[in-house]
Structure 1
Amino acid sequence: MNTIITILSILVAIEFFYIMYLETFATTSSNTGRVFNMTSDELQNKNVQTLFKNQGIYNGLIAVAILYTLFFTPNHNNNLLAIMVYIILVGLYGSFSSGDKLIVLKQAGLAIIVAILLLIA
């Protein structure tokens, strides 16, 4: 069970590093527009780029926290569960605030699975 939790947690971290990449380094790319359902003109807006970059750093730090917790903290299950619950809550907020109910599954789907596995482990 611990191996599955570790693998899925690493996948959550990779997902958040990818989101960080889109928001921080590829703010005007077509992939960023597709993922966030935004036009090229919206992505060119300097205010949007600033907001994206700030949000990207947040997502990158979430990924770092997951990896740090996995590999450098003893008895990491409680800390890992707290991070996954945080991701789930942010995904729920995103779903309700945007009107797109699938965001919770897109952003927090793997985190939900990890949290469930942590609770039954």
Structure 2
Amino acid sequence: MGDSQIKLLTPAGALLRSWSEPNDGHTGSFWSPLGLTLLPSGDLLVADTYNGRVVRIIGAVTLCYDFNSSGLVDVNDIQAVAQRWYDPGLYDARYDVIPDGVIDVVDVMTVAAAWNLGCA
């Protein structure tokens, strides 16, 4: 068994960031990271099976729902998601912020929860 890395890639496959150990106070390298979950906070949970633990990579990604690039999450961003609600003809993965293949109330509420937040 060798040391493993968690890699964050762009949709085109370019490397954005990588981690070889958690940054949540746990020590030691990842050996067999199998399960990953991205939380709405932008933190990443990693099931590190060989070490028998679930650890968190804090701030793995910055989530921003400012779809119209106004500088803040506002009513226009919420409406951009809501207008695609359960309409397969308007499906766009950018607005499926909880990526489950359908744009629904959970996506709308996730964007609404970021009301008035700016994006770094």
TM-score tier after normalising by the smaller chain length: under 0.3
Please tell me whether Structure 1 or Structure 2 has the larger radius of gyration of its CA atoms. Answer: 2
- TM norm structure 2: 0.26
Greater per-residue strand proportion: 2
Return the structure number with greater relative CO, CA threshold 8 A, min gap 6: 1
